Amino acid sequence: MSRTIKFEKMHGAGNDFVVIDARTTEMPLNDIRKKTPALCHRRTGIGADGVLLLGDSDDSDFSMHYYNADGSLAGMCGNGARCLARYASRLGFHEKLTFRMGDNTYRAEVHDAYISIHFPVSPRPAVKVIDDITWCELKPGTEHIVAIDQEFSQSSEESLRAAGRQLRNRNDLFPNGTNVNFASPINQNHLKLVTYERGVEDITLACGTGAIATAISWDYLKHGHDGPPFEGEKPESGITDHHIQLDSPGGPLEVTFRANQKDSHRTYSNIQLHGPAVSVFSGEIEM
Ligand SMILES: N[C@H](CCC[C@H](N)C(=O)O)C(=O)O
Protein backbone atom coordinates (compact mmCIF):
# COMPACT_ATOMS: atom_id res chain seq x y z
CA MET A 1 0.00 0.00 0.00
CA SER A 2 1.44 3.37 -0.92
CA ARG A 3 1.24 6.36 1.43
CA THR A 4 1.93 10.04 1.10
CA ILE A 5 4.61 11.15 3.52
CA LYS A 6 5.62 14.69 4.50
CA PHE A 7 9.33 15.42 4.45
CA GLU A 8 11.76 18.28 4.77
CA LYS A 9 14.99 18.47 2.75
CA MET A 10 17.85 19.84 4.89
CA HIS A 11 21.62 20.07 4.80
CA GLY A 12 24.54 20.73 7.11
CA ALA A 13 27.55 22.10 5.22
CA GLY A 14 26.25 20.38 2.07
CA ASN A 15 25.77 16.94 3.66
CA ASP A 16 22.09 16.58 2.74
CA PHE A 17 19.17 14.68 4.21
CA VAL A 18 15.52 13.80 3.83
CA VAL A 19 14.00 14.47 7.26
CA ILE A 20 10.78 12.76 8.34
CA ASP A 21 8.74 12.96 11.54
CA ALA A 22 8.27 9.21 11.97
CA ARG A 23 5.74 9.78 14.78
CA THR A 24 3.21 10.91 12.19
CA THR A 25 3.81 8.51 9.29
CA GLU A 26 2.12 5.38 10.69
CA MET A 27 4.76 3.47 8.77
CA PRO A 28 7.14 1.00 10.47
CA LEU A 29 10.68 2.39 10.55
CA ASN A 30 11.94 -0.61 8.64
CA ASP A 31 9.55 0.13 5.76
CA ILE A 32 10.95 3.67 5.54
CA ARG A 33 14.43 2.17 5.62
CA LYS A 34 13.59 -0.04 2.63
CA LYS A 35 12.48 3.06 0.69
CA THR A 36 15.63 5.01 1.58
CA PRO A 37 17.61 4.29 -1.64
CA ALA A 38 14.60 5.48 -3.71
CA LEU A 39 14.11 8.62 -1.57
CA CYS A 40 17.83 9.49 -1.77
CA HIS A 41 18.24 8.85 -5.50
CA ARG A 42 19.44 12.11 -7.07
CA ARG A 43 17.59 11.65 -10.38
CA THR A 44 14.45 9.72 -9.56
CA GLY A 45 13.97 10.65 -5.88
CA ILE A 46 14.35 13.68 -3.59
CA GLY A 47 18.12 13.30 -3.56
CA ALA A 48 20.16 13.05 -0.33
CA ASP A 49 23.10 11.42 1.44
CA GLY A 50 20.71 9.82 3.92
CA VAL A 51 17.34 9.75 5.68
CA LEU A 52 16.81 11.12 9.19
CA LEU A 53 13.83 10.07 11.27
CA LEU A 54 12.53 11.74 14.40
CA GLY A 55 10.89 9.20 16.70
CA ASP A 56 9.51 8.99 20.24
CA SER A 57 11.76 8.40 23.21
CA ASP A 58 11.03 7.42 26.83
CA ASP A 59 13.95 9.20 28.42
CA SER A 60 14.90 12.01 25.96
CA ASP A 61 13.04 14.63 23.94
CA PHE A 62 13.12 12.36 20.87
CA SER A 63 15.00 9.52 19.23
CA MET A 64 17.12 9.86 16.08
CA HIS A 65 17.30 7.14 13.42
CA TYR A 66 19.67 7.42 10.48
CA TYR A 67 19.94 5.44 7.25
CA ASN A 68 22.70 5.97 4.71
CA ALA A 69 21.62 6.63 1.10
CA ASP A 70 21.97 2.90 0.28
CA GLY A 71 19.72 1.98 3.24
CA SER A 72 22.54 0.76 5.50
CA LEU A 73 22.62 1.68 9.19
CA ALA A 74 25.19 4.03 10.71
CA GLY A 75 26.06 4.46 14.38
CA MET A 76 25.76 8.24 14.20
CA CYS A 77 25.62 11.16 11.79
CA GLY A 78 26.90 14.49 13.12
CA ASN A 79 25.61 16.78 10.37
CA GLY A 80 22.30 14.91 10.45
CA ALA A 81 22.05 15.40 14.22
CA ARG A 82 22.30 19.17 13.76
CA CYS A 83 19.61 19.10 11.08
CA LEU A 84 17.31 16.97 13.23
CA ALA A 85 17.83 19.30 16.21
CA ARG A 86 16.85 22.32 14.05
CA TYR A 87 13.84 20.38 12.72
CA ALA A 88 12.81 19.40 16.28
CA SER A 89 13.10 22.95 17.59
CA ARG A 90 10.76 24.10 14.79
CA LEU A 91 8.29 21.36 15.80
CA GLY A 92 8.16 22.98 19.25
CA PHE A 93 10.94 21.26 21.19
CA HIS A 94 13.19 23.58 23.20
CA GLU A 95 16.41 25.13 21.90
CA LYS A 96 18.29 22.96 24.42
CA LEU A 97 17.26 19.37 23.87
CA THR A 98 18.34 15.78 24.32
CA PHE A 99 17.94 12.91 21.92
CA ARG A 100 18.71 9.24 21.85
CA MET A 101 20.64 7.55 19.04
CA GLY A 102 21.57 3.90 19.60
CA ASP A 103 22.86 3.53 23.15
CA ASN A 104 23.84 7.17 23.55
CA THR A 105 22.00 10.27 24.74
CA TYR A 106 23.23 13.40 22.97
CA ARG A 107 22.58 17.04 23.89
CA ALA A 108 21.96 19.76 21.32
CA GLU A 109 21.87 23.55 21.52
CA VAL A 110 20.06 25.24 18.66
CA HIS A 111 21.21 28.78 17.79
CA ASP A 112 20.12 30.88 14.81
CA ALA A 113 23.33 30.54 12.82
CA TYR A 114 24.69 27.25 14.13
CA ILE A 115 23.92 24.21 16.25
CA SER A 116 26.13 22.46 18.79
CA ILE A 117 25.91 18.74 19.47
CA HIS A 118 27.54 17.30 22.62
CA PHE A 119 28.86 13.80 21.97
CA PRO A 120 28.83 11.57 25.09
CA VAL A 121 31.62 9.38 23.70
CA SER A 122 35.30 8.90 24.52
CA PRO A 123 36.84 7.54 21.32
CA ARG A 124 40.11 5.66 21.67
CA PRO A 125 42.26 6.23 18.60
CA ALA A 126 44.49 3.41 17.34
CA VAL A 127 47.29 3.87 14.82
CA LYS A 128 47.41 1.56 11.78
CA VAL A 129 49.98 1.76 9.01
CA ILE A 130 48.45 0.68 5.69
CA ASP A 131 50.58 0.66 2.54
CA ASP A 132 53.10 3.02 4.21
CA ILE A 133 50.45 5.58 5.19
CA THR A 134 49.73 6.22 8.89
CA TRP A 135 46.01 6.05 9.68
CA CYS A 136 44.21 6.76 12.92
CA GLU A 137 41.20 4.51 13.52
CA LEU A 138 38.49 5.65 15.93
CA LYS A 139 34.75 5.62 16.51
CA PRO A 140 33.18 8.93 17.52
CA GLY A 141 29.70 7.36 17.21
CA THR A 142 30.52 5.58 13.93
CA GLU A 143 33.58 4.03 12.26
CA HIS A 144 36.27 6.31 10.82
CA ILE A 145 39.87 6.23 9.71
CA VAL A 146 41.90 9.43 9.26
CA ALA A 147 45.18 10.20 7.49
CA ILE A 148 46.74 13.65 7.74
CA ASP A 149 49.22 14.69 5.08
CA GLN A 150 50.03 17.98 3.36
CA GLU A 151 49.97 16.12 0.03
CA PHE A 152 46.19 15.55 0.20
CA SER A 153 45.63 19.29 -0.36
CA GLN A 154 47.03 18.78 -3.91
CA SER A 155 45.20 15.49 -4.60
CA SER A 156 42.40 15.39 -7.15
CA GLU A 157 38.91 14.45 -6.05
CA GLU A 158 39.06 11.38 -8.33
CA SER A 159 42.22 10.07 -6.68
CA LEU A 160 40.81 10.55 -3.15
CA ARG A 161 37.54 8.89 -4.19
CA ALA A 162 39.45 5.90 -5.60
CA ALA A 163 41.68 5.61 -2.50
CA GLY A 164 38.68 5.99 -0.16
CA ARG A 165 36.70 3.34 -2.01
CA GLN A 166 39.58 0.91 -1.96
CA LEU A 167 40.18 1.30 1.82
CA ARG A 168 36.48 1.23 2.64
CA ASN A 169 36.35 -2.19 0.96
CA ARG A 170 39.41 -3.65 2.73
CA ASN A 171 37.31 -6.26 4.53
CA ASP A 172 40.44 -7.88 5.96
CA LEU A 173 41.13 -4.66 7.92
CA PHE A 174 37.61 -3.24 8.33
CA PRO A 175 35.03 -6.05 8.41
CA ASN A 176 32.16 -3.53 8.77
CA GLY A 177 33.64 -1.08 6.28
CA THR A 178 34.64 2.41 7.40
CA ASN A 179 34.37 6.09 6.52
CA VAL A 180 37.69 7.40 5.20
CA ASN A 181 39.03 10.91 5.95
CA PHE A 182 41.86 12.67 4.07
CA ALA A 183 43.04 15.77 5.93
CA SER A 184 45.75 18.34 5.31
CA PRO A 185 46.87 20.90 7.90
CA ILE A 186 46.46 24.64 7.29
CA ASN A 187 47.76 25.56 10.76
CA GLN A 188 47.72 24.11 14.29
CA ASN A 189 43.94 24.57 14.68
CA HIS A 190 42.73 24.42 11.12
CA LEU A 191 42.67 21.57 8.58
CA LYS A 192 41.23 20.90 5.17
CA LEU A 193 39.13 17.70 5.07
CA VAL A 194 37.69 15.40 2.41
CA THR A 195 35.61 12.39 3.55
CA TYR A 196 34.67 9.28 1.59
CA GLU A 197 31.46 8.01 3.21
CA ARG A 198 30.43 4.40 3.59
CA GLY A 199 26.78 3.95 2.62
CA VAL A 200 26.90 6.89 0.21
CA GLU A 201 29.90 5.25 -1.47
CA ASP A 202 31.28 8.59 -2.53
CA ILE A 203 32.89 11.76 -1.25
CA THR A 204 30.26 13.88 0.51
CA LEU A 205 30.42 17.68 0.87
CA ALA A 206 31.00 17.30 4.63
CA CYS A 207 30.90 14.71 7.40
CA GLY A 208 30.36 15.72 11.04
CA THR A 209 31.64 12.58 12.74
CA GLY A 210 34.53 12.67 10.22
CA ALA A 211 35.34 16.20 11.41
CA ILE A 212 35.41 14.97 15.03
CA ALA A 213 37.53 11.94 14.09
CA THR A 214 39.97 14.21 12.26
CA ALA A 215 40.27 16.83 15.02
CA ILE A 216 41.02 14.11 17.60
CA SER A 217 43.40 12.23 15.29
CA TRP A 218 45.33 15.45 14.66
CA ASP A 219 45.83 15.81 18.39
CA TYR A 220 46.51 12.12 18.99
CA LEU A 221 49.10 11.77 16.26
CA LYS A 222 50.99 14.73 17.76
CA HIS A 223 50.74 13.86 21.47
CA GLY A 224 49.29 10.46 22.24
CA HIS A 225 50.84 8.17 19.70
CA ASP A 226 52.84 5.27 21.16
CA GLY A 227 55.52 5.44 18.51
CA PRO A 228 58.18 8.12 18.08
CA PRO A 229 56.84 11.64 18.78
CA PHE A 230 55.67 13.69 15.81
CA GLU A 231 57.28 17.13 15.34
CA GLY A 232 59.50 16.49 18.39
CA GLU A 233 56.62 16.93 20.86
CA LYS A 234 56.53 15.04 24.14
CA PRO A 235 53.37 14.14 26.06
CA GLU A 236 52.77 16.38 29.08
CA SER A 237 50.49 15.59 31.98
CA GLY A 238 47.28 17.54 32.31
CA ILE A 239 44.07 18.67 30.71
CA THR A 240 43.93 20.83 27.59
CA ASP A 241 40.93 22.20 25.71
CA HIS A 242 41.06 22.33 21.92
CA HIS A 243 39.11 24.12 19.19
CA ILE A 244 39.72 22.93 15.63
CA GLN A 245 38.20 24.15 12.36
CA LEU A 246 37.75 21.64 9.51
CA ASP A 247 37.15 23.02 6.04
CA SER A 248 35.14 20.56 3.95
CA PRO A 249 34.13 21.09 0.30
CA GLY A 250 30.66 22.16 1.59
CA GLY A 251 31.96 24.62 4.19
CA PRO A 252 33.57 24.80 7.63
CA LEU A 253 32.71 22.77 10.73
CA GLU A 254 34.14 23.32 14.21
CA VAL A 255 35.04 20.73 16.81
CA THR A 256 35.87 21.36 20.46
CA PHE A 257 37.14 18.69 22.83
CA ARG A 258 39.18 18.12 25.97
CA ALA A 259 42.34 16.02 25.95
CA ASN A 260 43.24 14.33 29.23
CA GLN A 261 46.88 13.28 29.44
CA LYS A 262 47.84 10.88 32.24
CA ASP A 263 51.28 9.32 32.07
CA SER A 264 51.46 7.95 28.52
CA HIS A 265 47.68 7.70 28.06
CA ARG A 266 45.72 10.36 26.23
CA THR A 267 41.92 10.23 26.40
CA TYR A 268 39.20 12.50 25.04
CA SER A 269 36.03 13.98 26.51
CA ASN A 270 33.67 17.01 26.22
CA ILE A 271 33.43 16.50 22.47
CA GLN A 272 31.21 18.96 20.62
CA LEU A 273 30.44 19.54 16.95
CA HIS A 274 29.37 23.02 15.84
CA GLY A 275 28.04 24.00 12.44
CA PRO A 276 25.06 25.03 10.33
CA ALA A 277 21.78 23.21 9.61
CA VAL A 278 19.66 24.63 6.83
CA SER A 279 16.21 23.83 5.53
CA VAL A 280 16.03 23.73 1.71
CA PHE A 281 12.40 22.84 0.97
CA SER A 282 9.57 20.70 2.24
CA GLY A 283 7.09 18.54 0.37
CA GLU A 284 5.11 15.34 0.19
CA ILE A 285 6.09 12.15 -1.56
CA GLU A 286 4.20 8.99 -2.43
CA MET A 287 5.94 5.98 -0.88
N1 LIG B 1 27.68 12.19 7.28
C2 LIG B 1 27.60 11.70 8.64
C3 LIG B 1 28.24 10.39 8.86
C4 LIG B 1 27.42 9.26 8.35
C5 LIG B 1 28.17 8.01 8.67
C6 LIG B 1 27.90 6.94 7.72
N7 LIG B 1 28.27 7.21 6.36
C8 LIG B 1 28.44 5.61 8.23
O9 LIG B 1 29.06 5.55 9.30
O10 LIG B 1 28.22 4.62 7.54
C11 LIG B 1 28.10 12.73 9.62
O12 LIG B 1 27.91 13.92 9.39
O13 LIG B 1 28.64 12.35 10.66
The per-residue pLDDT for 234 is 56
The per-residue pLDDT for 230 is 47
77 carries an active-site annotation: yes
| Ligand 1 atom nearest to CA at 72 | 10
Exposure letters 35-74 (e unless 16+ CB within 10 A, then b): bbbebbeeeebbebbbbbbbbeeeebbbbbbbbbbebbeb
pLDDT, tens digit, 9 for 90 and up, residues 220-265: 999 866 544 445 455 566 899 999 999 999 999 999 999 999 878 8
Which amino acid type is present at position 136? C
136 carries an active-site annotation: no
CB atoms within 10 A of CB 31: 11
209 is annotated as contributing to ligand binding: yes
The per-residue pLDDT for 232 is 47
Ligand 1 within 6 A of 68 CB?
yes
Ligand 1 within 6 A of 250 CB?
no
Q: How many Å lie between the centroid of ligand 1 and the Cα of residue 254?
A: 16
The residue nearest atom 4 of ligand 1, judged by CA position, is 77
pLDDT, tens digit, 9 for 90 and up, residues 167-199: 999 999 999 999 999 999 999 999 999 999 999
Q: Does domain 126-275 have CATH number 3.10.310.10?
A: yes
pLDDT, tens digit, 9 for 90 and up, residues 45-84: 999 999 999 999 999 999 999 999 999 999 999 999 999 9
CA distances from 65 to 43, 221, 266 (A): 24, 32, 31
- Identical fold for domains 4-96+279-286 and 126-275, yes or no, is yes
179 is annotated as contributing to ligand binding: yes
Contact of 181 with 194, CB cutoff 8 Å: yes
Q: Is the ipTM of this complex over 0.90?
A: yes
Where are the domains positioned within the chain? Answer: 4-96+279-286, 126-275
CATH code of the domain made up of 4-96+279-286 = 3.10.310.10
